[in-house]
Amino acid sequence: MSTQQVIAQIQSMPLSERVAILEALVQSIKHETVLSNKAKEHEEEIRRRRREFKIKGFHLGSDVVVDRDEMYAERGL
């Protein structure tokens, strides 16, 4: 059923039924908004925790080769 057909059908309903439909739509939107806000709060909590993460620097005592091809060649792989 197309949107225009649904609207035409709703317009032909009694006023009390149209009000009930509007109330159901409003409740649905409120519920979706609450879920959206909870998701945003969860994302903000994750971001806040990520900011608290600290990395300690350390020295290995020698240079570290980070070239993967060279590293594998040394191992004979």
Indicate whether 39 pLDDT > 90. no
Q: Cite the DSSP H helix spans in 1-77.
A: 3-11, 15-51, 68-75
Q: Domain ranges in the chain?
A: 3-75
Q: Choose between 12 and 55: higher pLDDT.
A: 12
Q: Mean pLDDT over residues 18-37, rounded?
A: 88
- Give 42-75 pLDDT, tens digit per residue: 888 888 777 666 788 887 777 776 788 877 887 7
Pick from 10, 9, 5: nearest CA to 24 = 10
Q: Choose between 7 and 58: higher pLDDT.
A: 7
